[in-house]
Chain A
Amino acid sequence: MKRLATALTAILVLAFLVSPAFAGKIEDIKKRGTLVAGVKDSQPPFGYVDEKTNQIVGFEIDIMKFLADKLGVKLDVKAVTSSTRIPMLTQGEVDIVAATMTHKKDREGQIDFSITYFMTGQRLLVKKGGPIKSVKDLASKKIGSVKGSTSEQNAKKAEPTATIVSFETYPEAFLALKQGKVEAVTTDEAILVGLKYSDEKPEAWDIVGDYISPEPYGFGLIENDSKFRDFVNVSLMEMWESGEYKKVYDKWFGKDTKNYIPLTWTMELWP
């Protein structure tokens, strides 16, 4: 059995090593005529299925549209999940990943990242007026999060006595909060805001506490293609400087939306 396991591991490792070679993403994309972006389809307002048109729309999709327009190609979105987004990128199934992915050092070994295009941090969603004001109040209580997420690990580090209950998706975790199965739900503030305002009585819920950890989102790009990475980075800066970014941001997170998050950070701009 052990030998079989070793053989299987070897095959799997091989499979990932022999990922298709590429001759520069920009050329590939232009030749194909489409930019294939891996996006979320269940994460409003970043990427979700619109009720009227049944198409995937959202903040990240709009930025991808900007990139596709700049390249003079059509945009093709492909739904990815947290577990498939990195393999799909390394195998060349998608050209770029725009899927609420935190730029982390330990992910740098597999893929490259763009500069930060969205800045958020991990906080807590709790019942309004309840006893929980910060993560310290959760000592030996239950916190809901999502399987395999970084939020899960960060929460455990911030309050070791708390029990982390992991769900498949955030809506499930929120449901558990509503039913009193957990005392708080923890993840990136931007997602918590989406959860809170999707409820019928948003005023019953509160987002509390300091940032447990900063969560800068970056686009996932294939390793060692600096031409494409430069293009994405420069395009993002252009978007920011021309005010286009603010326009797109306000469309999804502005005052008039139900996901209002004030724009409090600045993009890293190279001179």
Chain B
Amino acid sequence: MHWDVVWNNFDYFLWGAYPKGPLGGLAMSILMALGGIFGAFWLGLLIGVCRLSKRVWLRAPAMVYIEIIRGTPLLMVIFWFYFLAPVIMGKSLPDWQSAIIALIVFTSAYIAEIVRAGVLSLPKGQMEAARGSGLSHVQTMIYIILPQALFNMIPSFVNQFVSLTKDTSLAYIIGVSELTKTATQVNSRTMKAPFEIFITVAALYFLVCFVLTELSRRLETKINRYQARGR
């Protein structure tokens, strides 16, 4: 076994060429994941609520968006966004930025469906009671429906976010120097330790995803105390 290869390049796996060069490795993966999760949550929430709207000019675009994105492999979304961005926006984006945007666009479509399912799973009476008490539709959504629905969605969100974290590895296709890319670079230079290198990489991904799951589990227990149970 050649664990020395992994050991000698461990700093490169963790933060790439930084500080002498651009940030890379696991640090870049985590950064992309965090940016992706934050953006995808808000965009997904917005699109999900639009998808539920009674107004067709809100509902239809949201539906088209969701269907198109869900029918496209993430690899293609990343690849195409990278080359379409300069055409749409008139200037090219750094590779990691366009990868984050692609991740946000992709994951938000799934988040939107989770939001829809979460809202629909609430008893109809919630909406009726709130409207009956004089709240507007938007107010009801923000103060009554979403807080309850979002809690029920946490397990699905976590699923999606863990998946997004692992999906950052696909950014290698446009040359983002994230964890998978750094591993490939080291592997093709040394070539004697593919198992050791990729086992290490797998362990690092697992660690990040495990921490993410653990945090959400704590959050769930915490909110659970305030949640009314049963109907």
> Chain A interface (Cβ within 8 Å of chain B)?
12, 14-16, 18-20, 41-44, 48-49, 51, 53-55, 78-81, 83-84, 87, 91-93, 169-172, 174-175, 195, 198-200
Output the nearest chain A residue to B188 by Cβ-Cβ distance: A42
- Is the CB–CB distance between A200 and B192 below 8 Å? yes
Known A-B contacts A15-B87, A54-B20, A91-B86; A174 and B191 likewise in contact (beta carbons under 8 Å): yes
B17 to chain A, nearest CB (A): 4
Number of interface residues of B (CB under 8 A): 30
Is A84 touching B174 in the complex (CB atoms < 8 A)?
Answer: yes
Complex CA gap A96/B188 in Å reads 23
Residues in A whose Cβ lies below 8 Å from that of B184: 42, 169
A235 and B30 alpha carbons, distance in the complex (Å):
43
- A15 and B189: CB pair below 8 A? no
The answer to whether B189 and A48 touch across the interface, beta carbons within 8 angstroms, is yes
| Also in contact, A198 and B191, with CB within 8 A (given A48-B185, A87-B83, A93-B92) | yes
- The 7 listed contacts between A and B (C-beta, < 8 Å) are A41-B175, A44-B189, A49-B182, A54-B16, A91-B83, A169-B184, A200-B192
Asked if residues B21 and A54 are in contact (CB atoms below 8 Å), the reply is yes
Cβ-closest chain B residue relative to A196: B191
Known: A49-B189, A171-B187, A198-B190. A79 touches B20 (CB 8 A): no
Whether B194 sits at the interface, judged by CB under 8 Å, is yes
CB-CB nearest in chain A for B80? A12
Interfacial chain B residues near A169, Cβ < 8 Å: 184, 188
Residues of B within 8 A of A (CB): 8-9, 11-12, 16-17, 20-21, 80, 83-84, 86-87, 92, 173-175, 177, 181-182, 184-192, 194
Cβ contact within 8 Å between A51 and B191: no
7 closest A-B pairs by beta carbon, nearest first, are A42-B188, A198-B191, A54-B17, A49-B185, A79-B175, A15-B87, A48-B189
**Which residues from A are CB-within-8-Å of B192?**
198-200
In this complex, the member of B20, B173, B174 whose beta carbon has the largest number of chain A beta carbons within 10 angstroms is: B174
- The listed residue (A43, A54, A55, A83) touching B188 by CB distance below 8 A is A43
Query: Which residue in A14, A54, A84, A171 is a CB contact (below 8 Å) of B191?
Result: A171
Distance of A14 Cα from B83 Cα, bound (Å): 12
Q: Is the CB of A84 within 8 A of B189?
A: no
| Chain B, interface SS category | helix
Q: Chain A residues near B188: list those with CB within 8 A.
A: 42-44, 48, 169-171
Question: Please, how many angstroms separate the alpha-carbon atoms of A94 and B179 in the complex?
Answer: 23
Cα(A92)–Cα(B8), bound, Å: 36
Q: Cβ of A55 and Cβ of B20 under 8 Å apart?
A: yes
Report how far A20 CA is from B90 CA in the complex, Å: 8
- Closest CB-CB distance, B211 to chain A, in whole Å? 26
Contact assessment for A80 and B175 in the assembled complex, using a CB-CB cutoff below 8 Å: yes
Asked whether A195 lies within 8 Å of B20 as measured between CB atoms, the reply is: no
Question: Within the assembled complex, what's the spacing in Å between the Cα atoms of A48 and B17?
Answer: 13
Contacts of A49 in B (CB 8 A): 12, 17, 182, 185-186, 189
Q: Are A55 and B174 in contact (CB under 8 A)?
A: no
Query: Considering the chains assembled together, what is the distance between the CA atoms of A97 and B151 in angstroms?
Result: 51
A31 to chain B, nearest CB (A): 16
| Contacting pair A81 B16 (CB below 8 A) | no
In the complex, residue of chain B having the shortest beta-carbon distance to the beta carbon of A174: B191
Query: Bound complex: CA of A199 vs CA of B92, how far in Å?
Result: 40
With contacts A42-B184, A171-B191, A198-B190 known, is A84 near B20, CB below 8 A?
Answer: no
Q: Give the CA-CA distance A172 to B188 in the complex, in Å.
A: 9
Report whether A81 and B21 are in contact in the complex, using a CB–CB cutoff of 8 Å. Answer: no
- Chain A residue with Cβ nearest B16: A54
A92-B86, A93-B92 given; 15 more Cβ-contact pairs under 8 Å:
A20-B86, A41-B185, A42-B185, A42-B187, A54-B16, A54-B20, A55-B20, A79-B177, A81-B173, A91-B86, A91-B92, A170-B188, A172-B194, A175-B194, A195-B191
| Complex Cα spacing A79 to B17, Å | 13
Q: Which residues of B contact A87 (CB under 8 A)?
A: 83
Contacts of B84 in A (CB 8 A): 15
- Bound CA–CA A54/B83 (angstroms): 27
- CA gap between A16 and B83 in the complex, in Å: 8
| List of B residues within 8 angstroms of A80 by Cβ | 175
Chain B residues with CB under 8 Å of A16's CB are 83
How far is it, in angstroms, between the C-alpha of A238 and the C-alpha of B173 when the chains are bound? 36
Inter-chain contacts of A54 with B (CB < 8 A): 11-12, 16-17, 20-21
